[in-house]
A and B are shown apart, each in its own frame.
Chain A
Amino acid sequence: MSEHHTHSNELSAEAMNEYVSVRIGDQLFGAPVDQIREVFAPQSVTYVPRAPDEVAGLLNLRGRIVTAIDARRRMGLTPREKTETGMALGVERGNEIFGLIVDSVGEVLRRPRSELEPVPAHVDANWRSMVKGVHRLEKELLAVLDVSAVIGTAARKNEAA
């Protein structure tokens, strides 16, 4: 990690990307900080019968109704158990707030913009449509989430249905 830091410092003059690191399933993702309104622990998510699959339900965030999107479902992973609360990334789009529910939220990472690499072509298309690129960290890959795509496709897909 130390080497990592030095590396970052050296390049501090360079344009940096800041990510909130989150885990969805086993994969480490980075959500661009400027797109995240806040991080909160979702409480008492109301299940909405007949809602599209990826909608985990609705929740109350300080008097505003937030549509919770289950990131695992969006990523095509096994859905979350009811007992797993996870964490949520608040994303504002238009007048609405969405809560993207992830398994856990880690620290904020800064990576030089130049190090963002394209998503390998052989990766699953659905997955690729929601990932802007990949940063190679020391131990693993950080997939950069296209937050709008994760949230937006939910709405668009539903419209088409």
Chain B
Amino acid sequence: MDDLISEFLTETAESLDVIDSELVRFENNPEDRAILDNIFRLLHTVKGTCGFLGLPRLEAVAHAGETLLGKFRDGELKVSPPMVTLVLQAIDQIKELLESLEATGQEPAGDDAALISRLEDAAMGKLEGAEQEAPAKPDNWDEDLGRELRPGEVSLADLEAAFQSADIDPGMEPAAAEAAPSEPVEHLGVGDFDPELGRELRPGEVSAAELEAAFQNTEAEAAVAPEQPVAVKSDFITEDMSQEEALQSAMAELKGGTEGNHGEGGPRVQQTVRVGVDVLEALMTTVSELVLTRNQLMQTVRGLEDDELKGPLQRLSAVTGELQDGVMKTRMQPIGDAWRKLPRIIRDVSTDLGKKIELVMEGQDTELDRQVLELIKDPLTHMVRNSADHGLEMPAERAAAGKSEKGTIKLSAYHEGGHIIISIADDGKGLDTQRIGEKALEKGLTTHDELERMTEAQIHRFIFAPGFSTAAKVTNLSGRGVGMDVVRTNIEQIGGVVDVSSTAGRGSHFSIKIPLTLAIVSALIVGCDEERFAIPQLAVRELVRVGAGSEHSVENLQGAQVMRLRDRLMPIIDLHNVLGVGEATQTGDDQAAFVVVLDAGGRNVGLVVDNVLDTEEIVVKPLSESLRNVQAYSGATILGDGSVIMILDPNGLAGEIISAMEEDVVIEGQSASVTELDQQTQRLLLVRAGGEEPKAVPLALVTRLEEFDLTALENTNGRRVVQYRGRLMPIVPLGADVVEREGQRQPVLVFAENHTSIGLAVDEIVDVVEERVDLQMSSDKQGVIGSAIIKGKATDVVDIAWYLDQSRAGDIQRRSSSRRRKVLLVDADAFARRMIAPLLAAAGYDVTPSGGMHEVKAIAEAGEQFDALVGDPSALDRIRKDGLWTNLPALAVTDWPEDTQAEGLTMVLPRSDRGALIAALDEVSQEEKVA
């Protein structure tokens, strides 16, 4: 393509964007001459340039638009929305022609007669609905000529009107000045008649007036017409101008080559040089490396005594810093660039939907990396469009709600830390929580139970879920199949976060937090074992010191690491474990460690590291192909000291724990006999029974300690019983058998279960200890869960469940081989499964954990049978609905038992009360057997 044309295209596209938003501004401020002059000048220049380049279609449309604008400027027509719409249509048409020019290198065939004639009609005040001052003569009657104008001709009065602001020919001025107010000047539109030439312009020619317009900004012209106010015309003849010169001047104007002549208030065009993006990128990379080398050099020299080096190095350092800032600046663009199209969009929405909308923009000058800017442009446009389309109500609706008819959309941007915050707020009706909830259910994104527990804010966030759109009707503005999920994806891709808050009737507020630049990010450098790692600051919520001297500590909850932070339990992962380096940090010992609280996909996850070393600005480098599959990393970087370190990916790390937790649960589920008391402090009752070695019973399970006279023990039907509180309580010996000891009383541990009590006879109650039980060996011995070191002695931990089972069965010999009862544990939350599974296992159940319906169905297909179902209410509900294991008792465990529909469920229990869960489970699974 011709270089001139391609340059013209680039420049014109920018001008047109400006015209778009300026026109909207003008519509609201019709009195502001500066805006109009600016629009007029831009359009005029576009027209002029088109003429030079031999683009007649473009020229004709631009001209017609300009003529109409000229009427506004001369005060002959009042600005009205339909008029502005018309001009905008002309602009759109020009854009279309330009696009095709860009694609093919030439103007497309066809003509724009319809549009042009409408523009001409409007210029003559004939636009429907527009204010019209009745013309006395035929529209194209020219008083000077004494005849109607032929197509393409223009009246002298018109020309005069156009020229009236110029005072080169003072003789003409009074006439023109008179003419303008006294009679409405009918304009025929195409002003190709050139009074200086005395004939119409031939295609490709340009009038002296236009040339002048092109030149009026140059200094030479300023000297000739020093008082000339702004961007308009004088009828200065320069017939001998070569086209090329004129063109260059026109280009110069397009570029805004000289400053100070433009209308006030409009965006000022600055002197610029176009540079390819790739050049900037290369420059950025080079500078990044220079910075790193500088840092390296600084560190080397720091250890030296050589003063000679220090001076120059300091200068080098300063210059490098400046260079870096400078190069960074070349990448920065004001966010207003991404907003430029918005006023036009809002205007179109308000016209199309009949809404009254005011768009307020704040912080347009806030700068951010051009790469980031490009990526958020579309999401932003989409969100603003959404607010206008869905957020704001119709004027009548607003009035009824006691709000002003005009809705406001406020767009603002500001810097905060290393990020930029963009917010889009409207004062509309807010998000429809109920509608969103219904839609979420419909799309299977949640369940009734979950929905009921959710806060409004949580429900609102469904709008970011894939494929979600609440618009009842698809307008041509939004609802084009791209929803907020795409917005979210785009924003997350650049390491940003998007959130929404909304109040019914008051409006909604979207906020986006994105990094200023993708190239350099601020990172926290942490130490783990001997290695260092970088964590992007954007993902770091806070740092917590744990261990020695800190109120916080990492605790073990059924084998899972958690930390209490402001009364909430947060899952903890140890970087040592995730990466398989060094020894996992031991909690509770003297060694202090740090927990980095990370935002991993909206969820807080704590990452245990040995040390927090530093924060540093890092240049993110992509990972080699062979490392890209390691989820834990998002990239690598070179630190100031020249060493390479890995950048951790918070989402990847969180992904790792979830899967690690799931694996763990499966393992524990399979070997169900491992562990109730893993690493948790437990109060244990130490007893002796059937041998010298102590045995341990979790005290929490013991209801009471009693002593009975041996004589009180009776034998009924081969079972030992004792009369206890008016009932017969079976007594089961712990260990070999009850040793008959004359004159002694028999100590019995009483376990109250359901409505019956069971006694466990022991030889001696030794002690109550509180210890961290590390169950080291699982045991094949019946009635023993495993062994642990308690008070320095290997101690068997008694499996109470097994004994209870014995007592009920009555016949110990026959029941000894009885199978353990099987429980299916369903909970979508891996963390919850992890907590419950070992608990049930410890209570003597074989636990099969499963994470979702998919797994459950697979288990059902495999023909597995269970004694009971335990899980979260919604999952159990689904199992019920699918007709699986309908005869089994289903125990729901939830954090919100009071809010849960108990329908179809055997029992709903609070998650916190594990004893109740075991008791209930024992009860229902027994009932099942008995029945």
A residues neighboring B (CB under 8 Å): 44, 46-52, 54-55, 57-60, 62-63, 65, 67, 96, 98, 154-155, 158-159, 161
Contacts and interface: CB of A to CB of B under 8 A. Distances in A.
Interface string B686-725: 0000000000000000000000000000000000000000
A46 B531 contact: yes
Contact of A50 (B580, B624, B645): B580
A46 B623 CA distance: 13
Contacts of B629: 158-159, 161
A50 B579 contact: yes
Prevailing SS type, chain B contact patch = mixed
B630 interface: yes
Contact of A65 (B626, B630, B632, B638): B638
Nearest to A57: B644
Contacts of B289: 62-63
B624 A98 contact: yes
B581 A158 contact: no
A52 B629 CA distance: 9
Find the residue from B289, B292, B624, B630 having the highest chain A CB count within 10 A: B624
29 contacts: A44-B643, A44-B644, A46-B531, A46-B646, A47-B531, A48-B630, A48-B646, A49-B579, A50-B580, A52-B626, A54-B626, A58-B636, A58-B646, A60-B638, A60-B643, A60-B644, A63-B292, A63-B293, A65-B624, A67-B626, A96-B624, A98-B624, A154-B626, A155-B625, A155-B626, A158-B626, A158-B627, A158-B629, A159-B625
B621 interface: yes
Contacts of A155: 624-626
Contact of A58 (B580, B625, B644): B644
Nearest to A51: B627
Nearest to A157: B626
B910 interface: no
B626 A46 contact: no
A154 B627 CA distance: 10
A58 B292 CA distance: 16
A65 B644 contact: yes
Nearest to A63: B289
B81 interface: no
A51 B630 contact: yes
B627 A48 contact: yes
Given A47-B531, A49-B531, A63-B289, A55 B626 contact: yes
Contacts of A158: 625-627, 629
Contacts of B580: 49-50
B75 interface: no
B644 A59 contact: yes
B267 interface: no
B521 to A, nearest CB: 16
B795 to A, nearest CB: 38
B467 interface: no
A122 B268 CA distance: 77
A55 B625 CA distance: 11
Contacts of B588: none
Nearest to B285: A63
B644 A46 contact: yes
Nearest to A43: B642
B626 A51 contact: yes
Nearest to B528: A49
Contacts of B646: 46, 48, 58
Nearest to A151: B626
Nearest to B639: A60
Contacts of B644: 44, 46, 57-60, 65
Interface in B643-657: 643-646
A33 to B, nearest CB: 24
Contacts of A65: 621, 624, 636, 638, 644
A158 B638 CA distance: 24
Contacts of B632: 49-50
Contacts of A57: 644
A26 B441 CA distance: 67
A50 B630 contact: yes
B31 to A, nearest CB: 58
Given A57-B644, A65-B636, A65-B644, 6 more contacts: A48-B630, A49-B531, A50-B580, A51-B626, A51-B627, A63-B293
Nearest to B582: A49
Contacts of A50: 579-580, 630, 632
